[in-house]
């Protein structure tokens, strides 16, 4: 392969990725108003301006596109969670920081958060399973971080994982509440954040008084 062929391939590959991303973006936009199980392939390709058949060069079917959207949606959340977990601060500050991080994440990726909240129990099994698997991975990651902390000494692995699950569920609930909050009522967002902080504080109190059974 000479260098000009390689350059052509590089351009083609870049173009292919660009179209793939355009399909994902168009689908995500359309999914603000409907659910994945009712989204038609032609609706998506029409928005992007490619032939319907072009869809299959990128995804086997709409479920596969949905799974790619799950990865996109939860990938960025993952980065955010890891940053919060890495902080070495007092519990109170970690709580404030994580609620702020969730609010910020929802502000920057509202469509992704809505997509996950909606399709978590949606009509497409492959997507439901991908979301469940990603959230389980979060749980494992949070558990690993919690296990390393002094306050977890003497805890069974099961108990640490149980606590991690509670934190992940709380995060999902808080993100869902933020995304449902109307943009016209900033007060609503403040109440959600305040409630989330108190709840995390209560959970962290329960954690400190937990005696392994």
Among residues 58 and 127, whose Cβ is nearest to its own copies?
Answer: 127
Among residues 10 and 206, whose Cβ is nearest to its own copies?
Answer: 206
Which tokens hold the place of 129? 């399973």
Q: Binding to its own copies by residue 159, rule CB under 8 A?
A: yes
Q: Please state, in angstroms and rounded to a whole number, the distance separating the CA atoms of residues 77 and 79.
A: 5
Distances from the Cα of 201 to the Cαs of 2, 94, 189, in angstroms? 62, 10, 18
Site for its own copies in 101-140 (CB under 8 A): 114, 117-118, 120-123, 128, 132
Closest by alpha carbon to 115, among 30, 42, 19, 188?
30
Q: Do residues 120 and 63 touch, judged by C-beta distance below 8 A?
A: no
Which tokens hold the place of 45? 């390709």
Query: Which range, of 45-53, 74-82, 98-106, 169-177, touches its own copies by CB under 8 A?
Result: 169-177
Q: Do residues 24 and 68 touch, judged by C-beta distance below 8 A?
A: yes
Site for its own copies in 2-41 (CB under 8 A): 33-35, 37-38
Q: Using CB under 8 A, list all residues that contact its own copies.
A: 33-35, 37-38, 114, 117-118, 120-123, 128, 132, 159, 162-163, 165-166, 169-170, 172-173, 176, 179-180, 195, 198-199, 202-210
């Amino acid at each position: 392969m000479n260098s000009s062929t390689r350059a052509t391939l590089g351009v083609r590959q870049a173009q292919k990725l660009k179209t793939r991303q355009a399909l994902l973006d168009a689908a995500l936009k359309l999914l603000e108003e409907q659910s994945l199980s009712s989204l038609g392939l032609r609706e998506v390709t029409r928005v992007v301006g490619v032939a319907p058949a072009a869809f299959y060069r990128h995804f086997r079917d709409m479920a596969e596109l949905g799974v790619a959207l799950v990865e996109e949606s939860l990938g960025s959340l993952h980065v955010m969670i890891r940053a919060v977990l890495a902080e070495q601060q007092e519990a109170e500050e970690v709580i404030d920081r994580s609620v702020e991080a969730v609010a910020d994440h929802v502000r920057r990726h509202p469509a992704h958060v809505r997509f996950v909240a909606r399709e978590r129990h949606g009509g497409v099994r492959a997507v439901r399973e991908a979301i469940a698997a990603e959230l389980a991975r979060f749980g494992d990651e949070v558990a690993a971080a919690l296990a390393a902390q002094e306050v977890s000494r003497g805890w069974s692995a099961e108990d640490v994982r149980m606590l991690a699950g509670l934190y992940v569920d709380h995060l999902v609930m808080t993100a869902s509440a933020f995304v449902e909050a109307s943009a016209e009522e900033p007060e609503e967002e403040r109440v959600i954040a305040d409630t989330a902080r108190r709840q995390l504080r209560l959970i962290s109190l329960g954690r400190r008084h937990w005696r392994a059974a």
